[in-house]
Amino acid sequence: MIYLEGGGDGAPARLVPAGSDPADPGRTNRERTGQGRSGQGRTTPARVGKKTGPKPRFTVEEVVDAALDIGIGSFTLADVARRLGVATSALYRVVDGRDALVDLCLRRWIERVPMPDPSLGWQDQLRAFADALWEAHAGNPGMVAAMIDRPQTVQHVYGPLAEFCRALDAAGLEGGPGRIAFAVDFVADTVHMAYLGSQRYGGAGRGTDGQGTEGQDAEGQDADGRGADAQRDGDAEAGGEEVLREYVEGVGAQDEPDWSYRTWLRRKVEFIVAGLEAGL
């Protein structure tokens, strides 16, 4: 279909196809406005801004919380995913695997150990540090074993403990950075081993019968499936510890009614403090 255009003011009229651009009859109005035959724009600008889509249903902090709640020594990724209500494969969006999650748990644990009040004397700061570390272990019983299994996690303590060492220096602990770091490490190792001992020999460990010994089933197999002979071998290895425990408990019954691993830990810390005060 065509129509007649122009012809006024002496200009000659011309035939123009319907729907075309009068300035360019060979170009239709749809082409001039950027629309093709399909009706879709050919020059529509690209979309800008953030991508749309569902937001993540969980964060890495929530994954760490779930793992710690289950227990650092016993959680599996399937357990954590079940706790969060997601598929196990979804966890790999925020963690690389179980080992990586254990590292994150250890970092969270260490960062949350409260450092002592820097206004205290260095002796009281060391005592408070030992108490805080013990309480942190009590809240996460599998932490000691996890730290022993993954010694590389020491990298996570550098920040918090460096600040603590500076506070001890400012409070008057002499000997320079090396001696101060040694003192902090000595106290920390003492706490770790004391707590581990309380779990293994104090009846607080998993799989015990309340008396600090592994229980056996009706067929003579212990909690991890070993036979009676293997159990006796394990008892022999622990014999020295048991003899020492009997002696200490015997003394405690007479002289220290409040004997416990915690009490003896504090005595050990006092021994360390006394040695530092003497310049050892």
- DSSP states of 145-185: HHHHH-GGGGGGGHHHHHHHHHHHHHTT--SHHHHHHHHHH
Q: Please give the Cα distance from 129 to 116 (Å, whole number).
A: 6
- Torsion on CA atoms 267, 270, 271, 273, rounded to nearest 10: 160
Separation in Å, CA 4 to CA 8, 22, 32, 182: 11, 11, 21, 101
* 21 has pLDDT over 70: no
For 186-218, write each residue's pLDDT tens digit.
Answer: 999 999 888 887 877 654 433 333 333 333 333
pLDDT, residue 245, reads 63
Residue 8: CB atoms within 10 Å: 7
Mean pLDDT, all residues of the chain: 72
Average pLDDT over residues 94-102: 90
Domains of the chain: 16-44 (no CATH), 58-112 (1.10.10.60), 116-201+238-277 (1.10.357)
CA 148 to chain CA centroid, nearest Å: 16
Secondary structure element (H or E) that encloses residue 24, with its range: strand 24-28
Say if residue 261's pLDDT is above 80: no
Q: Which of 38-47, 122-131, 229-238 has the highest mean pLDDT?
A: 122-131
What's the pTM?
Answer: 0.59
| Cβ–Cβ under 8 Å, residues 102 and 72 | yes
**What's the gap between Cα 20 and its chain centre?**
69
